[in-house]
Chains A and B, each alone.
Chain A
């Protein structure tokens, strides 16, 4: 009953939308990539003339910034994020992993080369052991004094100086074994120093039982000067009393923080490259199949070993050669791009991806990164062809911590959570907003999204939910009782003015202006991201509100001007009411009941006259809209393939997306199931070549 009513309403809504473009009816094919899902669910797309067989093709896909960072992390174990300095990736269809628009410039090449060097150096950086280096004083010697038995006698103020190579930054202990010949009122003073830092100690001991004097120093890696000195020489000529210092030895121990291994180096270097070419060959072979995400050919290996030999011929170590070969592999197009080959590049006949190409599609979809060993093994063994095998991998991969990438990248772009990074609420208007609060908002949304990836909850609960994730700080911001936790805690918000994604701070903030809310932007977000209906652009020259010296009335009252103007009304009648439903939340998501001193009216009407009041009623209606399910499906499909949806006749996309959406809807809107269905769909596993353009003779 409920379902039928919603569809009826949705139909009216859609009609209003098409009227707004100036095109009445729904006979024209939707534009590729956007606006298709809603329309095709409603039966709006043309029926293909023949059976659809075309799986389409994904353009050679350059790793985007996120994928590059994740890939070098998983390949080398580095924590460096070199692609943060790469130019921003362009977006298409709302995502930054669309192969067609991922371009390359000379700047990219320069940065790819530089980052290859940085990540290889970092991965193969030697570990650091704790060592003690001892210097026998009589061996070190000094211009002052002379050797005395197994020690050195400093008979006047002077120093014993040695050079020490600190293997790493850290705390080091410098100690000296010494005794003194006392005279005068003071005890003999011994100085310990590393570079410019010096500390002075009294020495009480005599030759019978020398003492150890020690102190710690903060030391920077590299060559350091270590010093032991005598600072208060004294001679009484009348009595021949003479103060002298004897040093047996001195030593420096550290770093006291303990030994550090470099686990990346240990993992990568399964043999010692210094042992020769055989080891380097073994290491490179293992590295290459992971770096290029496929087995490498004998010819490719031979070329890499050629790099190693070139470095060796320069008198450099095998390890240097290994490093340059690894760098070469990381700048090669076989690393920089996800290469998928067609047996015949000009043939339109569909073919299945080879297992390694498929493994990469799967891992960049779910992890935004390269396949792991288990996925490589499955590809090697040809165990990625049946739906059961693929589903098993999806389940395994979603359970892995790397699936956080799906939340951050798909979720972050679909739900706009990423926009928190570049949104900057005005500090004068919203002094309570700060980076810690911003991260709490991000966590709230990401943790919510994680529940849909991990669990069996229908994604309609994203809009209508009685629970959320709050810290004390975010609860206070929302005016809710603090859960007594500095980290996000799942709490019930039943009976409060919160519940569902439309009431979360992250969305409410990033769809606002820095100083005020924007019902237009919020309404537009709902249309574009939840229903996949891009609002048609306003006519030129009508941006902005009417001039007012002193703004009067609520923002809503002022925005009603949009709808008073007949030119603006057609589209704003669509966007604004949705946004007005969220007016109870200010530009950083704080609940309010008044704006400019007047009570907020959060009621709205859809073009067919159906009314709602406030965010929760709006959410309930949206959650039940079948276009919501279709829109989630289309967004995930675009993200999974890294290309827009094609609606041309004979193309598999329309029926694939429709089928996925129907299954998603009838299966209870479980995101996990949808992820599996996308990964096992025909277009995800296939591609074809393309015709060469006609050439004029």
Chain B
């Protein structure tokens, strides 16, 4: 890949190992540059195992609240973020145990995931996919699902809930979880395929035709095969055909062929912290190049038992989150939570540094941060730890600590959809869009 060195004064690209600071591309006019048609984005950021709320919730409300230890990394961004206290996601309550999988499955659907480990998984459509459906025509990719952890390789995921609930927050349909990409190279290749300026237009066109030919061939085979199958097998072929059609649509999209500088292809093997930052860089770049307008990110899977030796935390996340009020456990959880907010602040900082029209990428976005549960020991699905960043293109007025006690989090999602121009009468268990955000 070609590194645009003349731009590298603002960001050094290091392909092997180190954190990749992708370059800022303020000179690149997105497809919709004028204020009236300025592209708006939605981003949903997931952290596992809840938050130590005593170290999170500010003591007072309004813009002058004092930052708590876990929120400290937001200091320079406090005008860009609101802390929202009191929201609940009651449909996420599991049947019996399984709060992590159930809370994660319902994280963006506000629906009640069916307890099953079989093929009969049942959830709702997630808010990001509602937005993606409405905004898809604008960009090459309707949405992007990124994460860090693939999934465990043996044993159950959580108390009788399918691993799909524990691994995916984006749901295109009630039984269609969207898997996430965890390898930075994979997402890089997907985003930037066909955008390599060193390839001649003729060659690029040929590659596109050949890829389409391969997909057409598969689609024709699937269509013929489908007629010979029973109802259950047909569903599998339908999934296949749906996937082929979506990729064909992406291949056919030629509108993104210019204006986007391709950075160096990142390394596939990274330390966890670098991996998290690189995925943030990629999301910002994908927004900046207007390749996609809706994204979700999972910093870990449901009930993650990751260890954090790099910040001096002994023990593992899920195990610690069952803290039993032991001070050492609470201190460790506070350190982990602070680190997570630090990563979120890094992402917001990068979005804020991108100039778009008269504002910034962050101002043109609505960015949501939360976890599948409130406190890790209590496993509550009320009083969730929520951050909302960005101005949603002017619809949101961040910078305060606000209380929305026991309001469904679906109401927040309705408001977020509204901020990007997607007006839904109802979503999940919503009762109406959250006001005064």
Contacts and interface: CB of A to CB of B under 8 A. Distances in A.
A94 B237 contact: no
A336 B232 contact: no
Contact of B215 (A101, A331, A427): A331
A465 to B, nearest CB: 22
B225 to A, nearest CB: 6
Contacts of B178: 105, 107
Contacts of A412: 153-154
B233 A59 contact: yes
A101 B119 contact: yes
Given A413-B154, A426-B307, A644 B118 contact: yes
A514 B186 CA distance: 30
Contacts of B309: 426-428
Nearest to B238: A104
A75 to B, nearest CB: 17
A88 B316 contact: no
Interface in B148-200: 150-157, 159-160, 162-164, 167, 176-181, 183, 185-186, 189-190
Determine chain B's interface SS by DSSP, over half rule: mixed
Interface in B306-349: 306-307, 309, 314-316, 319, 322-327
B140 interface: no
A87 interface: yes
Given A513-B319, A537-B96, A544-B324, A109 B240 contact: yes
B274 interface: no
Contacts of B327: 549
Interface in A54-78: 57, 59-60, 62
Contact of A334 (B150, B225, B319): B225
A336 B240 contact: yes
B154 A88 contact: no
Interface string A429-445: 10000000000000000
A689 B154 contact: no
A88 B149 CA distance: 9
Nearest to B98: A537
B306 A424 contact: yes
Contacts of A307: 213, 217
B190 A101 contact: no
Nearest to B377: A544
Contacts of B250: 110
B97 interface: yes
Contacts of B225: 333-334, 339
B379 interface: yes
B10 interface: no
B180 to A, nearest CB: 7
A85 B239 contact: no
A550 to B, nearest CB: 9
A129 interface: no
A384 interface: no
B213 A106 contact: no
Contacts of A311: 210
A419 B152 contact: yes
Given A113-B211, A543-B379, A332 B218 contact: yes
Contact of B324 (A113, A426, A548): A548
A107 B181 contact: yes
A427 B313 CA distance: 11
Interface string B227-261: 01111110011011011101100100000000000
A310 B230 contact: no
Contact of A693 (B97, B185, B217, B231): B231
B220 interface: yes
Contacts of A466: none
Interface in A102-132: 103-111, 113-114, 116
Interface in A506-541: 510, 513-515, 537-541
Contact of B228 (A341, A417, A510): A341
Determine chain A's interface SS by DSSP, over half rule: loop
Given A105-B179, A328-B214, A543-B379, A537 B243 contact: no
Residue among A59, A342, A428, A514 having the largest count of chain B Cβ atoms under 10 Å? A514
A522 B215 CA distance: 47
B77 interface: no
A105 B214 contact: no
Nearest to B319: A513
Residue among B94, B97, B179, B323 having the largest count of chain A Cβ atoms under 10 Å? B179
Interface residues of A, number: 82
A314 B208 CA distance: 13
B189 A114 contact: yes
B315 A543 contact: no
B247 A543 contact: no
Contact of B222 (A59, A333, A342, A546): A333
Nearest to A545: B324
Contacts of A608: none
Given A332-B218, A346-B230, A90 B243 contact: no
B221 interface: yes
A327 B212 CA distance: 12
A690 B237 CA distance: 16
Residue among A106, A424, A548 having the largest count of chain B Cβ atoms under 10 Å? A106
A201 interface: no
A418 B232 contact: no
A541 B163 CA distance: 21
Given A106-B246, A544-B377, A547-B326, A692 B231 contact: yes
Residue among A94, A110, A421, A429 having the largest count of chain B Cβ atoms under 10 Å? A110
Given A514-B319, A537-B160, A60 B236 contact: yes
Interface in A597-641: none
A341 B224 CA distance: 13
Contacts of B319: 513-515
A113 B246 contact: no
A324 B180 contact: no
Nearest to A103: B239
A644 B206 CA distance: 46
Contacts of B377: 543-544
B38 interface: no
B320 to A, nearest CB: 9
29 contacts: A33-B118, A57-B230, A87-B179, A90-B162, A94-B155, A101-B118, A101-B162, A101-B164, A103-B176, A106-B243, A107-B178, A109-B243, A109-B246, A111-B186, A113-B214, A307-B213, A324-B214, A328-B218, A333-B218, A424-B306, A513-B316, A514-B315, A515-B319, A540-B97, A540-B379, A541-B379, A549-B326, A690-B230, A692-B230
Interface of A: 33, 57, 59-60, 62, 85, 87-88, 90-94, 96, 99-101, 103-111, 113-114, 116, 303, 307, 310-311, 314, 324, 327-328, 331-334, 336-337, 339, 341-342, 345-346, 412-413, 416-419, 421-422, 424, 426-429, 510, 513-515, 537-541, 543-549, 644, 689-690, 692-693
- Nearest first, the 10 closest Cβ-Cβ pairs linking A and B are A87-B179, A100-B119, A547-B324, A88-B151, A109-B243, A544-B322, A106-B246, A514-B316, A60-B233, A328-B217
Given A107-B181, A515-B315, 18 more contacts: A57-B232, A88-B150, A104-B240, A105-B239, A110-B250, A113-B214, A332-B221, A332-B222, A333-B240, A345-B228, A412-B154, A416-B155, A417-B154, A419-B153, A537-B159, A538-B97, A539-B96, A543-B377
